[in-house]
Structure 1
Amino acid sequence: MSVLRNIKSLAPLLDRVLVQRIKPEAKTASGIFLPESSVKEQNEAKVLAVGPGAFDKDGKRLPMGVTSGDKVLIPQFGGSPIKVGEEEYTLFRDSEILAKINE
């Protein structure tokens, strides 16, 4: 099995969405550092790559709900984890993405 050296070489298929969780802030706006135990894992992620979409029963491609660069809300559990070096990523189906965050 070959080791994935660069996440940019990974192209999701069908309705898969490649995301990376946004790391929670370890310090407050005023500069106070928070203990690691009080920093909860975020359910926010950035979309890095999106597949072309799944097919419907008539063979037409279904549009994806998110695009690369979107900020999204993902489930706490699930998805397929991928590790490249020290970085962690997750593949979800488009239908598993909970919401798109508009800023």
Structure 2
Amino acid sequence: MKLKPIEDHIVVKVPTAVEEKTVGGIIIPDTAKEKPQIGEVIAVGTDEDLQKIVKVGDKVLYGKYAGTEVEVEGEKLLILSKDDILALVE
């Protein structure tokens, strides 16, 4: 299944977190870590203004609590609106 965002929405691939271990051997679970706020755009909606700014393959910085998380075929994705995008990362 593929997601095709509509209007001013984009689909962003959320980077997977790697389990971390402290120097003392304590494993830090994913729930205790800060969520990443940079992701790779994998689909862009139909809004012409948005398509001029963002394209597939770009990396974007988005707000901490922005978007809607979904899981498609075991992959974590985030659906963001144009207003949720803070900057392009080069």
Gaps of 5+ in 2: none
Q: Structure 1: how far apart are the matches of 2:50 and 2:68?
A: 22
Task: Write the mapping of 1:42-81 to structure 2, written as runs, cut at 5 A.
Answer: 42-53=36-47, 61-64=48-51, 65-81=53-69
Runs of 4+ in 1 over 4 A off after TM superposition: 24-27
Q: Structure 1: how far apart are the matches of 2:55 and 2:46?
A: 10
Give the aligned partner of residue 15 of structure 1. 8
Give the TM-score, by structure 1 length: 0.65
The root-mean-square deviation of aligned C-alpha atoms, in Å, is 2.5
Q: Percent identity?
A: 24
Higher strand share: 2
Q: Structure 2: how far apart are the matches of 1:75 and 1:87?
A: 20
The alpha-carbon deviation at position 52 of structure 1 amounts to 1.9
Residue type of the alignment partner of 1:69: G
Asked which structure has the greater CA Rg, the reply is: 1
Higher helix share: 2
Superimposed CA distance per residue, residues 36-86 of structure 1 (whole angstroms, 9 cap, x where no aligned partner): 357532111010000121xxxxxxx43432111001111111212211243
Superimposed CA distance per residue, residues 80-102 of structure 1 (whole angstroms, 9 cap, x where no aligned partner): 22112432111111221111001
The structure showing larger relative contact order (alpha-carbon pairs under 8 Å, at least 6 residues apart) is 2
